[in-house]
Structure 1
């Protein structure tokens, strides 16, 4: 295996005092040439117009993850100062950091602490749903506090069951906003929604925004419905596929180019040696939330998140099987072959499982169902699995009660209507697939990594 040293010169446009200037960022790095395929690397600093001179170096992908670097491991003080429009380090730099317990490097160090060691002054920490430690339950208010280690004020961006916008009081003294959150890969997980609100505020108050990019744990598949206009909410804040196949940095670029009315002075620090097929190397940096504690739970969440909005399902919340199982209370009578039949049906579409029985602390009942053994999220279609479980249950006579949030999280009422027998599968497939195709074509210029997301079309035939 030969090693090639490459110099990546980035020419980035920044806006300072109403004028635009060019500067060059020299990033020297080595990449390994190996037998499997080419891998496009981009160190991105994307500016207001999304037309920044941005050069990608095309080299062979690395065979070892030891050279993989997160955006937070790539960023330097010079890049932070440049993004803020400052040419030198003399006057200091004050930032606001949007992060939580997932904002760590591969050595487990908080990005918050690493930036402070670089001499960056962090005036405020802004936190999403679940709080700075990721321990606040879903939909519960996150309160303002202080970071125990540093004493830095922690400002909540979630309350009253929805996101909260950043305001002028919290932004006026900041030179730059820096965003780093580990996403789950699903649109209805609200860290994406927090990103969107942060971008709106950055645009409104003319604050540059830097994204320290992280992997998508669900890898490259892109599938499922987009969001119908009347269903926009905090769990469906922008019309992207329910399983989007993109990183936070790529989503930010897409929002800036195609969704936001006022553009952001946006800077994305891309990962180095990242191949979309590898997903998230190693383990999660920390639990994403009280119930989303592992990569395997993220894989399950890709279809169980929506199933959790349908009664009488139990998806194991409050147990060791959280978001890795589906079950019914034993008070719901089903045929004796019910779970075996469902397991066989799901096995045909790439999802393996085994029988499970547990006590549900939420329902205070014994439940019986399936525990999913999911090792690779690229081996199954989350949307197909969701539809298969729902239609199987409906045909078996299980009374399904959809929550008010289901249509919003799905992005469409047509899925629920199809399951209930009020909408045809052919029409659902046509709507979903046409929207997916249009989105993919529009989003192409926002992609930073290879391979590009793989569009998974929904079959108009029952599988």
Structure 2
């Protein structure tokens, strides 16, 4: 690993696992622990910090951004463990779905006091940097901690909560920002189109690829060095990443399937996450993406589909997947309580799956076979926000093949890979 372009900082106590200190990339630093842990078991940044009794936060006034995925190896919440070990925890900030995970998509939990710990939990979902900065000031914190399992897709909102919190920390000034890193369940390969200016929204605030192929710690370093000043705030002087141990970029979902906690109500399994960067695009159509079933983003369909779609898709022999003709009735969301026909996407080999390419073939064939196929009533605005530009819609409606659509984003994707290379903290093929 080329560490000359990456800042690595052995925070107090965490250095016990072996750390190196070099000049920080973009004046940021990253707390790192040795990856050699004597076995295949992956240890998260939280596990490593907790094993040192949270001394990384000694003498600090801490606020934590987390949700039900912010747990240790024994599934203890990091919030509960920090309080039990005497960390001066002043506040928790809940993202979409809330700190304890009780809210559905697009919803959050209201600001309240956590009954177990007595810590105030602020509703941070959708908060601007200015509003978050106000929360930080009110709570009296000098350290912001981010620990949430991301699923590796640009339109999954937790990374944008982190980005907003980074700006808020800069606005307050003198605030340390610490990312307790976790593996990317999709592995370390970036795929898909890169967001373009004019298509920013709550599901994509910066120019990253649709499947970004980075951990949240790597993203934080990239965001800090590349986008903070453009956003009108100073780079963070004290940005630390407590690295996960035992993870490499070629590891995908099944490597920690036994540790999987749904990061949101419609992300029940690693298989769901594997497909989500692609089949999430179905949300922009008048089809069901499987919300309201036990297999969201794996079951895809609509009332007017028939067996021909599964046949056409299987004939393509797409790498790592197979399509089963399926029938289902969503209990909520689009086509609720209506029988839908379509497919279940079965993952045969997660390491070979390119979910965005798979979904592109699915949409191309859907439009070719079914004249009823349409966008979800917004003229295609949502597909532009999900794919990051108007190009996908334009090509699809013009009758382009899936291969032509995929080829169109390759130059921008390669540039994104090149731009992010200096901020990667974990080895393995990209």
Would the alpha carbon gap of residues 316 and 429 (structure 1) be closer, same or farther in structure 2, given more than 3 Å must change?
closer
| Structure 2 equivalent of residue 445 of structure 1 | 422
Q: Is the 8 A contact 1:226 1:239 kept in 2?
A: yes
How far off its partner does 1:348 sit? 3.0
How far off its partner does 1:250 sit? 0.4
**What aligned pairs does 1:86-235 form with structure 2 within 5 A after superposition?**
92-159=59-126, 165-171=131-137, 173-206=140-173, 207-235=175-203
How far off its partner does 1:286 sit? 2.1
In 2, Cα distance between equivalents of 1:95 and 1:416: 45
Q: Is the 8 A contact 1:358 1:367 kept in 2?
A: yes
The structure with the larger Rg is 1
| Structure 1 equivalent of residue 275 of structure 2 | 300
| Structure 1 equivalent of residue 4 of structure 2 | none
Would the alpha carbon gap of residues 243 and 169 (structure 1) be closer, same or farther in structure 2, given more than 3 Å must change?
closer
Give the SS at the match of 1:401: coil
Q: Is the 8 A contact 2:25 2:225 kept in 1?
A: no
Aligned to 2:47, which of 73, 76, 80?
73
| Structure 2 equivalent of residue 291 of structure 1 | 266
How far off its partner does 1:169 sit? 4.4
How far off its partner does 1:48 sit? 7.9
Q: TM-score, normalised by structure 2?
A: 0.85
| Structure 2 equivalent of residue 458 of structure 1 | none
Give the SS at the match of 1:369: strand
In 1, Cα distance between equivalents of 2:13 and 2:119: 33
In 1, Cα distance between equivalents of 2:227 and 2:90: 29
Q: Kindly indicate which of the two structures has a greater share of residues assigned to strand.
A: 1
In 1, Cα distance between equivalents of 2:261 and 2:101: 8
Q: Give deviations 1:163-189, integer Å, cap 9, x for gaps.
A: 984123433511211110000110100
In 2, Cα distance between equivalents of 1:137 and 1:174: 29
In 1, Cα distance between equivalents of 2:61 and 2:33: 30
Aligned to 1:238, which of 206, 224, 232?
206
Would the alpha carbon gap of residues 263 and 423 (structure 1) be closer, same or farther in structure 2, given more than 3 Å must change?
farther
| Structure 1 equivalent of residue 16 of structure 2 | 27
Would the alpha carbon gap of residues 80 and 263 (structure 1) be closer, same or farther in structure 2, given more than 3 Å must change?
farther
| Structure 2 equivalent of residue 36 of structure 1 | none
RMSD of aligned C-alpha atoms?
A: 3.1
Q: Give deviations 1:84-109, integer Å, cap 9, x for gaps.
A: 7xxxx5xx432000001110112111
* 1:372 and 2:338 aligned: no
* 1:321 and 2:295 aligned: yes
Number of positions where the alignment pairs a residue of Structure 1 with one of Structure 2: 408
Would the alpha carbon gap of residues 407 and 11 (structure 1) be closer, same or farther in structure 2, given more than 3 Å must change?
closer
Structure 1 unaligned spans of 5+:
1-9, 15-22, 30-41, 455-463
Q: Is the 8 A contact 1:414 1:423 kept in 2?
A: no
Q: Give deviations 1:21-49, integer Å, cap 9, x for gaps.
A: xx8964246xxxxxxxxxxxx77899584
In 2, Cα distance between equivalents of 1:258 and 1:419: 32
Q: Give deviations 1:391-437, integer Å, cap 9, x for gaps.
A: 11111134332243221111111011111117787875565112111
Q: Is the 8 A contact 2:96 2:157 kept in 1?
A: yes
How far off its partner does 1:247 sit? 0.4
Would the alpha carbon gap of residues 28 and 223 (structure 1) be closer, same or farther in structure 2, given more than 3 Å must change?
closer
| Structure 2 equivalent of residue 251 of structure 1 | 219
Give the SS at the match of 1:252: helix
| Structure 2 equivalent of residue 355 of structure 1 | 325
In 2, Cα distance between equivalents of 1:361 and 1:164: 38
Q: Kindly indicate which of the two structures has a greater share of residues assigned to helix.
A: 2
* 1:400 and 2:373 aligned: yes
Would the alpha carbon gap of residues 43 and 125 (structure 1) be closer, same or farther in structure 2, given more than 3 Å must change?
farther
Would the alpha carbon gap of residues 376 and 144 (structure 1) be closer, same or farther in structure 2, given more than 3 Å must change?
farther
* 1:412 and 2:386 aligned: no
Q: Is the 8 A contact 1:81 1:93 kept in 2?
A: no
Would the alpha carbon gap of residues 56 and 446 (structure 1) be closer, same or farther in structure 2, given more than 3 Å must change?
farther
Q: Is the 8 A contact 1:215 1:247 kept in 2?
A: yes
Would the alpha carbon gap of residues 44 and 112 (structure 1) be closer, same or farther in structure 2, given more than 3 Å must change?
farther
| Structure 1 equivalent of residue 3 of structure 2 | none
Structure 2 unaligned spans of 5+:
1-6
In 2, Cα distance between equivalents of 1:234 and 1:293: 22
| Structure 1 equivalent of residue 310 of structure 2 | 339
Q: Compare 168-177 and 255-264 and name the one that shifted more.
A: 168-177
In 1, Cα distance between equivalents of 2:192 and 2:101: 27
How far off its partner does 1:339 sit? 2.2
Give the SS at the match of 2:220: helix
| Structure 2 equivalent of residue 386 of structure 1 | 359
